[in-house]
């Protein structure tokens, strides 16, 4: 097989061997960006489960300072243990979705409310049933999280928080 034709590692006709090409810094950066993108979409696709009635609802799980995740509703309690029992549920800022969080992780500075722990963001119908998010919904939530995630300083330490108002 001839290396020049791309079929082997050593060319029998000329003796050349294949050498691996080193990636440039720009190419490495692009590879990392693509892998990060595929990782996020892989999580989203993995979160989608189908049953006899169609797609199971899924929601966005977020902790300030970390990458958001898309999780199925049946994993909500693993991410937010008080979900459905003792959680605060209110409208998420700048959206038509609801946000659910543990009230013990909320703190106020003046009139401003900040969340420094995990939260779930999802859609609900008129009866309060959780609905599946579309890709456009996830994108809207991601934009809101980017706008509202801030660094606050407390006792000289900076920590990421989500501004709720």
Measured distance CA(145)–CA(156) in Å, rounded? 24
- The structure tokens listed for 104 are 């013990």
The mean pLDDT of 106-121, rounded to a whole number, is 87
The mean pLDDT of 110-138, rounded to a whole number, is 86
Q: How confident is the model at residue 51 (pLDDT cuts 50, 70, 90)?
A: very low
CA angle (69, 42, 44) in 5-degree steps: 45
Q: How confident is the model at residue 46 (pLDDT cuts 50, 70, 90)?
A: low
Q: Which of 129, 57, 120, 131 is nearest to 89 (CA)?
A: 120
pTM: 0.64
In the predicted model, what is the mean pLDDT of the chain? Answer: 79
71-98 per-position pLDDT tens digit: 888 888 888 888 878 778 888 888 889 9
Sheet harboring 112-115: ordered strands across?
A: 106-109, 112-115, 157-163, 149-154
Model pLDDT, residue 75 = 86
Model pLDDT, residue 61 = 92
pLDDT above 70: percentage of residues in the chain: 79
CB atoms within 10 A of CB 153: 8
């Amino acid at each position: 097989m001839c290396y020049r034709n791309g079929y082997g590692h050593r060319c029998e006709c000329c003796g050349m061997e294949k050498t691996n090409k080193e990636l440039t810094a720009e190419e490495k950066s692009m590879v990392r960006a693509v892998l990060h993108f595929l990782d996020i979409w892989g999580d989203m696709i993995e979160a989608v489960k189908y049953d006899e009635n169609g797609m199971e609802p899924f929601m966005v799980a977020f902790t300030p300072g970390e990458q958001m995740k898309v999780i199925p509703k049946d994993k909500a309690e693993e991410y937010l243990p008080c979900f459905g029992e003792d959680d605060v549920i209110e409208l998420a800022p700048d959206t038509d979705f609801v946000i659910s969080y543990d009230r013990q992780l909320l703190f106020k500075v003046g009139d401003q409310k900040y969340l420094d722990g995990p939260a779930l963001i999802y859609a609900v119908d008129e009866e309060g049933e959780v609905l599946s998010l579309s890709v456009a919904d996830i994108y809207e939530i991601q934009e809101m999280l980017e706008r509202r995630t801030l660094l606050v300083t407390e006792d000289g330490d900076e920590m990421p928080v989500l501004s709720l108002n």
